[in-house]
Structure 1
Amino acid sequence: MKTKICIEDIKIKKDDHTTIFYRDQGFQIIGNSTMGCGIDYVKSIVHHGLKNREAPLPYKEGEVSREEIDNEKKEYLKAIFDYKEIEEPAAAILSPTESGEFDIIINENVTAIVNSHNGQRLFMSILVFVDSNLNKKTLLKLFKATIDAKNAALWDMGVINHFSFDPLDVEDNESILIASKGLTDEVTSDESYKIMKNIQATVRKAVNQSLGNCGYPKGVLAYMNDVGVVVDDLVDAGMELVVGIEKTQEIRDNLKKQIYHSLEDLNVVSFIIAGIRLEEDYEKHRVSGVDVDDDPAYLYSDEVFGMSVANQIAGTKAIFNFKRYDEAKPGIISKLGPVLDDVFAGLVAGCMSKVFEV
């Protein structure tokens, strides 16, 4: 990480696990950091990473109380403060990744530092420095602006959707911390607005950059995995309806190869992504007056999707094959919603038709 921060008199100490930001005059902070929540004054800001740990504490949900977990985190961080000789009062961010893995964007008088980790769940911490003295009202506005910018970046990168990421299902130690040089009674509306827009742009850019390093945006295989579909399951489903000939390993291998090949077709990918988006909208009842929870008989656009996928891969014969897979719903296809069962039935039917093409 570059050590240049928009506040010139900040001093930075860094080792493999811990980065310490401090200044003689301290910081006025606002945020929900692991330690130092709310609006407060601190001398130091500490970002500590737990290398090679998926979670900061080895507990499963319900094993111990939330209060016990919070207290142990604070005790752990206080031990770090003593060991590193950190000047208190201090705020701290506890990360399940190495603290050195930052993405940093500097834009005039704002610096955004983002730490992301795409493990069992997406973890993200955001630390923003503002080279100004601010009042509490402005700090609250900037905290909201940072959250808005984070969510905008999640949307930009395709992270937010019902199947892959619920913004409320995050690591409990995720942090957003904003640090200004100090407090003042006078911040004009124009100054407040300018800083807010600067923070939104800077945080959005930094989060986008950090998510890019975590593997976003995702490819079609990752989107399929979000809805519980992997290629091997599709191969199993395809093999279930093979009749009249021996089910050989060669057929399985050819089918798998064909599925991967078909997933390179932009039109096939378009139908799959459209199906995933539509399934989510239906499941969340986002369209007033539309309820397809029981897969009503009058809903046939899903079958049009399925037939279109099959036809794109192997033409008219695949459409007839699609009807077999749509009616039998073998394997993984039977576990999908009213749109995706047809989309993936079409994918399997098209690929099977292509495998046996003469």
Structure 2
Amino acid sequence: MAEQRLGVIMHGVTGRMGTNQHLIRSIAAIRDAGGVLLRDGRRIVPDPILVGRDEDKLARLARANGVTRWSTDLAAALANKDDTLFFDSASTQLRPTVVRQAIDAGKDIYCEKPTATTVEEALALHHYAEKAGIRHGVVQDKLFLPGLMKLRMLRDSGFFGRILSVRGEFGYWVFEGDWQEAQRPSWNYRLEDGGGIILDMLCHWRYVLDNTFANVKAVSCLGATHIPERVDERGQAYQATADDAAYATFELEGGIIAQINSSWCTRVRRDDLVTFHVDGTHGSAVAGLTDCRSQARVNTPRPVWNPDQKQGHDFFEDWQVVPDNLDYPNGFRAQWELFIRHLFGEAEWKYTLLEGAKGVQLAELGLKSWQERRWLDIPALEG
């Protein structure tokens, strides 16, 4: 079978997610498996060049993953016409600038989210890409989680009946950095550096809600900075100027109400770091990253409120595991493969920069709702 090279400029992949999910578990894994097999028998084999600011980090990362090319010169990398796809997972604040540079160089675009810090900038980036006539996509990784895929299977089968509500819990305790090293970079907690959990997570919740349940119509959000001082990577104390928790309620089409708490200041006592509890007239389900449990109407127990007696019923035992009947590959890799198929005309791709702008829109309105302490409707974005 004929192999066809796909030159990929990977910008900003020295961070944790860029390294682990996009390079190691996606591009390197696809390359090592012989590429993406198309229907016509061709195998599309990605050939990455790693681009960033730290030459030593790039060289070590490249050697560890069998990558022969790396550079600190983004302009030179963009000038290579043999590399046709540009991927960015660097900082949100830099993303519009570097993506525009790549579009000007005629590259197709695949990038992380948020695509910008304001909806005006994110939407302008989408229009810029459309005018240039290039293909573009935004990572929507949580749609490819096994737990959410099982929820969509239950939805499509009619299991829920009419969906009434969705309750999401996301988060974990991020150490302050003084007595234990923080698990997240310090810029996440500085508003001036593009940090904040509302901007970070409401971009995710937009595509999760839109594609798993129903389109978001309105938002009410309350943010908080629960930990006002943290310690950075150099051991220096700094003021946390960005929100580290968000308590949001969403009105979805069809009368569905969704509530999602997002926090880096909570200690986990649930099945996973993120869980979604869906209630419907005919059944309910709870999904995490990988597992999903369901309870049908005919299997629902009959609780009786009695505060004078200790609860003796184990409600967890009333839920059935949704089996792993399908093969669930790494979600980032699955999305990379789908986008590569799209580039070669074998798959549709709807997760464009416009979808990225919708996520930024929800985050921006969430911040505004917090500031103004009121509900806000979600206007349609013009594509």
- When normalised by structure 1's length, the TM-score is 0.26
**Structure in which a larger fraction of residues adopt helix:** 1
Which one has the largest radius of gyration?
1
Structure number with greater CO (CA < 8 Å, separation at least 6) is 2
**Structure in which a larger fraction of residues adopt strand:** 2
